[in-house]
Structure 1
Amino acid sequence: MEFSEIVIHVIFLSQTVVGTLSNSFLVYHYVMLYFMECKLKFTDWILQHLLVANFLTLLCKGVPHTLSAFGLKDFLNDIGCKLIFYLHRIGRGVSISSTCFLSVFQAITISPKASKWTQLKVKSPRHIASCVYMSWILSFIVNIGFPMEITARQNIRNITYLMVLEYCSAPHKDKVIYILHAIFLSIPDVFFMLLMIWSSSYMVFILYKHKQRMKHIHKSNFSFRSSPEFRATKTILLLVSTFVFFYTVSCVFQVNMSLVKNPTSLRVNMASVVSAGFPTVGPILMIHCYSVNLHSVSFVRKQNIITISYQ
């Protein structure tokens, strides 16, 4: 076994373990708040959908790749291959849409009271909630073609098949058909990415304007920099930047692989490592930035309002 393969195996295992533990910790955190009868902020509700998408991505990418990396090659049948690819694509689609809605909602929340977004602040939770549910449905529909194409590796009967993973395969397509199919699948992603970049840029602009105003104020009893909105905005901007980075690198790998008829195992593995990057790193950033624990969360009880400051 080559050194590069050993490194990839260790990375697969580390991603799967760390990503599963960090996402599980956040799930446990929200479950405990639910049993404590706490009413969470709307951003937490969106983050819960993001956690579900992270689990789908990790379980459908990390676990099979880890098993494959350690020698199990033909452990999936046709149904298993179709299912993990379909669920992975759904998780990937919901991940980008949830991150986008998180950014949009926070941009609306911190917008000035005198801006045109004032009325939208009240209506945004209802509209974005509908959009989140619609993104699940859209992801189910857009990716419905994947289960029809993916087959188990042991069912390959001719060399026209393109090996997409070490444990599954897909038929080799004509370049024109492949390009059209890629464009069709990329339309929702491009839309969400542009919306995400726009809302993030707007938040940076709002924070910059506030910083400029604060330069002329020598003494103030309230600092926006120390407010929960400011910290939440910084965290969301960090999550969005991390997502854009991993998504861009993943797209580069996917385009590179599509131009090669038979991609090497190392290239396929690197693409998988990058695609699982955000579901692994994202929850760690959330835990670090929010200092999430049962004694450091701002929440509202159903009967009494209880505010506990962030550490």
Structure 2
Amino acid sequence: MSDLMVRGLLYLSLTAVGLPGNVAVIAAFLLAYHQERRLLPADAIVLHLACANLLVVGVRCLLEVLASFGLANVFSDTGCKAVIYVYRTSRSLSIWLTFVLSAYQCLSIAPPGSRWASARDLLARHLALTFVTVWVINTVMSSPSVMFAQGSHNNSTAMQYSINVEFCFVHFPSIDARDANGAAQVTRDAVPMILMTLASLIILVFLYRHSQQVKGLRGGGGGAEQRAAKAVVTLVTVYVLFYGVDNGLWVYTLTVRQTMSSSLISDLRIFFSSLYAALSPMVIIASNRKVKNQLSCRAQEKATLEKATTLSTM
């Protein structure tokens, strides 16, 4: 089996899991909004996160499948600029929104009337501004991909400071430009990772203390806040695992001096970073009661409709 075939099958598996998973989460929240005319702040953050993850899977993984199997030629100069720009923006949005979710959940476990509870209310009131700020930061920081990305037909060993992403190359004018861009990307990812890890540790300490307090009491520890907190900690753990590998490979790419960065390393980076976008909706579906109820209701309605249709044709 050729390398391109293996590559195509790997990205196909991510697409097969990530596309329907994120679409299901988005549809469930939109249905909930249609019925209730409002979304809780945490639900709005998760909805936004699912949209970013859908972009990661749809724009990068799906197009990688089409290119690997020779089904479409989408990686011209313009195509490379668009794909890399949208992918990097949505990928970093996914990271920052996971941080916002963990921060909000951390503030949500604060005692009522405390300073932290007031901070949670402030974040909830200005959630739209938070989304806009995150979008602006990440769209601006992804701009080098528009300036320097080119199609693989421009492959040239004379271009020394390039990053090979299989079907595309990102050509930097100098080693300083390449390293500065790399440092900015790592910082953009490391800051929310450190903060969300800290928030998750606080949540874990709270959950541990809560479990000790209710130990031996029937029905203790099963509240909605505890379930939501555990779900957020799970999402952060998945993020740290996959994006930690991704950023480790990125640092390796920047520190190894060679004419072209290995396409294998770039493939591994994209695969690991896309794993979070593909698997996080499974965590959300399994842990979010609102999403689970919406999906189960739609499944029951579909089964009832199919049964009625079958009986009417007998």
Cα separation, partners in 2 of 1:233 and 1:296, compared to 1, 3 Å? farther
Deviation digits for residues 228-263 of structure 1 (CA, Å, limit 9, x no counterpart): 111011001101110111110111222233324334
1:74–1:167 contact (8 Å) kept in structure 2 = no
**1:283 deviation in Å?**
0.4
**Structure 2 residue aligned with 1:48:** 47
User: Which has the bigger relative contact order, CA under 8 A and spacing at least 6?
Assistant: 1
SS of the counterpart of 1:166? coil
**Structure 1 residue aligned with 2:241:** 245
2:159–2:259 contact (8 Å) kept in structure 1 = no
**1:76 deviation in Å?**
2.4
Rounded Cα–Cα distance in structure 1 between residues aligned with 2:24 and 2:128: 24
**1:121 deviation in Å?**
3.4
**1:167 deviation in Å?**
1.7
Q: What is the total number of aligned residue pairs between the two structures? A: 292
Rounded Cα–Cα distance in structure 2 between residues aligned with 1:73 and 1:121: 47
**Structure 1 residue aligned with 2:222:** 226
SS of the counterpart of 1:178? helix
Mean CA deviation greater in 22-31 or 128-137: 128-137
Q: How does 1:100-115 map to 2 (within 5 A)?
A: 100-113=99-112, 115=114
SS of the counterpart of 2:170? strand
2:4–2:69 contact (8 Å) kept in structure 1 = no
Rounded Cα–Cα distance in structure 2 between residues aligned with 1:236 and 1:12: 26
Q: In structure 2, give the amino acid aligned to 1:232.
A: A
Rounded Cα–Cα distance in structure 2 between residues aligned with 1:35 and 1:214: 37
Whether 1:169 and 2:169 are equivalent positions in the alignment is yes
Whether 1:204 and 2:204 are equivalent positions in the alignment is yes
**Structure 2 residue aligned with 1:78:** 77
Unaligned 5+ segments in structure 1 are: 298-311
Deviation digits for residues 191-229 of structure 1 (CA, Å, limit 9, x no counterpart): 2112111111111111112122223xx546x62x11111
The RMSD of aligned alpha carbons is 2.4
Rounded Cα–Cα distance in structure 2 between residues aligned with 1:96 and 1:209: 28
Rounded Cα–Cα distance in structure 1 between residues aligned with 2:133 and 2:44: 15
Aligned counterpart in structure 1 of residue 285 of structure 2, from 282, 287, 293 = 287
Q: In structure 2, give the amino acid aligned to 1:71.
A: G
Same amino acid, percent of matched pairs: 26
Mean CA deviation greater in 260-269 or 141-150: 260-269
Cα separation, partners in 2 of 1:208 and 1:43, compared to 1, 3 Å? same
Deviation digits for residues 95-115 of structure 1 (CA, Å, limit 9, x no counterpart): 111000100001111123364
Rounded Cα–Cα distance in structure 1 between residues aligned with 2:71 and 2:250: 24
Mean CA deviation greater in 63-72 or 143-152: 63-72
Q: In structure 1, give the amino acid aligned to 2:204.
A: V
**1:172 deviation in Å?**
5.0
**Structure 1 residue aligned with 2:305:** none
Whether 1:256 and 2:267 are equivalent positions in the alignment is no
Aligned counterpart in structure 2 of residue 270 of structure 1, from 259, 262, 268 = 268
SS of the counterpart of 1:226? coil
**1:22 deviation in Å?**
0.5
Rounded Cα–Cα distance in structure 2 between residues aligned with 1:185 and 1:197: 18
Rounded Cα–Cα distance in structure 2 between residues aligned with 1:180 and 1:75: 29
2:80–2:151 contact (8 Å) kept in structure 1 = yes
1:97–1:132 contact (8 Å) kept in structure 2 = no
Comparing both structures, which one devotes a greater share of its residues to helix?
2
TM-score (norm 2): 0.84
**1:73 deviation in Å?**
8.1
**Structure 1 residue aligned with 2:301:** none
1:107–1:203 contact (8 Å) kept in structure 2 = yes
SS of the counterpart of 1:71? coil
Unaligned 5+ segments in structure 2 are: 298-314
1:242–1:278 contact (8 Å) kept in structure 2 = yes
Cα separation, partners in 2 of 1:261 and 1:42, compared to 1, 3 Å? same
**Structure 2 residue aligned with 1:308:** none
TM-score (norm 1): 0.85
**Structure 2 residue aligned with 1:64:** 63
Cα separation, partners in 2 of 1:160 and 1:121, compared to 1, 3 Å? closer
